[in-house]
Amino acid sequence: MPALNWPGKELPTVDAADLTIEAIVFPHGQGYPDTSPENRLILGDNLAVMTALLPRYQNKIDLIYVDPPFFTNRKYPARVGRGEDSRKPDDWQLADGYLDHWPDLDSYLQFLYERLEVMYRLLAPTGTLYLHLDWHADAYARILLDELFGPENLINQIAWVYHGPSPIRRAFNRKHDTILSYAKGKDYTFNVDDVREPYNPNTVKTFKSSPKAGFGKIPDLNRGKVPEDWWYFPVVARLHSERTGYPTQKPGALLERILLASSNPGDLVADFFCGSGTTLQAAARHGRRFLGVDTTWRAVHTTRCRLSRLEVPFTLERDDKASIPLASAGTGIQVVVSGQKIILESELDLDFWEVDPNWDGKLFRSAAQACRPVRNGELPRELKIEAGKEICARVVTVTGEVSQHPLK
């Protein structure tokens, strides 16, 4: 079988990440304080983190979707504050998003290869891996995945097609991504009836007027059709109600189709390049357990905000090598208790805050959270909560710095 080689191709021995729990998040107090959630959101380099997860999750993850950097050699800033709203460009603020810079193709392939190999080990025997890339590197990735999974285990090469403006004048407008799906064997989960879609109205009309139009094959028009391997979903454009401001965020509908086809309720779904958390949000909405990893705090914080709007508890963890930016002292942030309310007072532009009403001084159990609304409006400054003996609030500024405010 042909294989892809490059100087320095290897599967190195990797030091496992040392994971620390930063907080247990109980969105809207769901499950507070005693549930130990299985859902995990982890800040760190995914190679070290996946290596740390191997003893517990080898052959256990039912669905892995990953959307890594595409080898574009670009920098992707995030829009923060009110930056999501394209009607107010003067309000845009940019912050670091993530980098897709590589010294050369060899180093990119090595990065992908060593991570895909650990993902293979984590995947359950009935599981599926979806790898999302585009024309920059999809051809190489297909050969790498053939090597790791065996070419006979390619399920689909999906084209996600979309449209949008582009300055291109010397080629056709590049408006599709490639999603490769592979299984470990023939016995993989594929819930075809959960992803059927309505037939095109013209097809329905044709078959209603002439049942022989299909040369003897009469489709079940009510049941719907199996989607093709090319999918149109609009990109998360600036005015889209899903937009978090995190760069290259993928549409929720795309992840929902993947999740419904290739996992069952209760299954474990992982995204090791989780960005704004689209996969994790879909998993939480559809009763799947989830694991998410990203190397940037901006991504992990964005995901945490999105998940806080749902009702599914999760732990927020960190590889000890990864740091969370702290606000400098003297931020002027005040948190005060007034009856059943906790009130946040600050002149700063803030993104998020949360409260543990019974802080033990060690593990932060977040029982109430407030996030800046995705499109319009201000961060709510009051949280209703039954105050315990020791209250602690954590606050995140629009630029991502965190401060902690214990109060008696």
Per CB under 6 A, residues contacting ligand SAM are: 45-46, 67-69, 98, 246, 248-250, 273, 275-276, 278, 293-296, 299
Of 362, 406, 299, 395, the closest CA to residue 20 belongs to 362
Alpha-carbon distance of 117 to 109, in angstroms, equals 12
Answer yes or no: are the C-beta atoms of 97 and 162 closer than 8 Å: no
Q: How far is the CB of 346 from ligand SAM (least distance, A)?
A: 28
Q: How far is the CB of 408 from ligand SAM (least distance, A)?
A: 38
Q: How far is the CB of 172 from ligand SAM (least distance, A)?
A: 23
Answer yes or no: are the C-beta atoms of 32 and 367 closer than 8 Å: yes
Q: How far is the CB of 403 from ligand SAM (least distance, A)?
A: 23
Q: How far is the CB of 307 from ligand SAM (least distance, A)?
A: 13
- How many other β-carbons are positioned within 10 Å of the β-carbon of residue 209? 8
Residue nearest to ligand SAM (CB): 275
Phi, then psi, of 65 in degrees rounded to 5? -115, 130
What is the strand order of the sheet 391-397 is part of? 368-371, 350-356, 391-397, 402-407
Written as six digits, the tokens of 262 are 């290739």
Of 250, 314, 258, 260, the closest CA to residue 286 belongs to 260
Answer yes or no: are the C-beta atoms of 235 and 245 closer than 8 Å: no
Nearer to ligand SAM, 15 or 386 (CB): 15
Nearer to ligand SAM, 235 or 327 (CB): 235
Q: Can you give the length of the chain in residues?
A: 408
Nearer to ligand SAM, 278 or 397 (CB): 278
Beta bridge partners of 219: none
Nearer to ligand SAM, 69 or 81 (CB): 69
* DSSP state, residue 296: -
Answer yes or no: are the C-beta atoms of 345 and 334 closer than 8 Å: yes
Q: How far is the CB of 98 from ligand SAM (least distance, A)?
A: 3
Nearer to ligand SAM, 126 or 296 (CB): 296
Nearer to ligand SAM, 236 or 393 (CB): 236
Nearer to ligand SAM, 267 or 294 (CB): 294
Q: Which residues contact 343 (CB under 8 A, 6 or more apart)?
A: 335, 336, 337, 381, 382
Q: How far is the CB of 383 from ligand SAM (least distance, A)?
A: 27
